[in-house]
């Protein structure tokens, strides 16, 4: 079995979108998945591209992905990576591949001058929470996640 973790390329977007659909289904968020290959291409490869990603392949077939982008933790004065998504197909879990992907992200981040990786996990996803804690991640329960989206975003911008 050949396992490869590599940078996502433009030709990978169909496979990436398939994996994103699987992830949305796993998280019971299918109704919220609106992204298209065109929007992914613009965010990852267009002018002003700001999203990076890794693809996990097993024997040449896409089996997982991670999407991330830079941010700045102002109070700490640290450059960070925000891990937007990390997903492995069900059949790939429990084999060390999630750890391998996170280690690759951390190596790339550190080599790029970043000092931290931040992310969110759905409250009900206990296996993921335990997995991240086992790797040394800290859970910060002191903050709440907010967003302005849709009409709220448009109203704020008007």
Which residues are annotated as catalytic? Answer: 132
Q: How far is CA 27 from CA 18, 24, 38, 123, in A?
A: 14, 5, 23, 11
Q: Pinpoint the alpha helices (H) of the chain.
A: 13-26, 37-45, 97-111, 126-134, 150-157
Collapsed DSSP state (helix, strand, coil) of residue 19:
helix
Nearest by Cα to 98 from 40, 153, 148, 137: 137
Integer Cα distance of 54 and 70 in angstroms: 15
């Amino acid at each position: 079995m050949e396992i490869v973790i590599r940078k996502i390329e433009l030709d990978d977007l169909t496979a990436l979108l398939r994996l994103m659909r699987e992830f949305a289904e796993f998280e019971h968020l299918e109704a919220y998945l609106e992204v298209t290959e065109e929007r992914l291409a613009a965010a990852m490869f267009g002018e002003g591209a700001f999203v990076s990603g890794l693809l996990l392949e097993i024997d040449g077939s896409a089996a997982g992905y991670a999407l991330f982008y830079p941010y700045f933790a102002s109070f700490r004065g640290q450059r960070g990576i925000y891990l937007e998504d990390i997903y492995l197909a069900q059949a790939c879990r429990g084999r060390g591949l999630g750890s391998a992907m996170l280690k690759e992200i951390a190596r790339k981040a550190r080599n790029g001058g970043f000092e931290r990786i931040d992310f969110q996990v759905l409250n009900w996803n206990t296996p993921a929470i335990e997995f991240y804690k086992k790797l040394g991640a800290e859970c910060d329960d002191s903050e709440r996640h907010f967003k302005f989206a849709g009409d709220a975003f448009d109203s704020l911008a008007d």
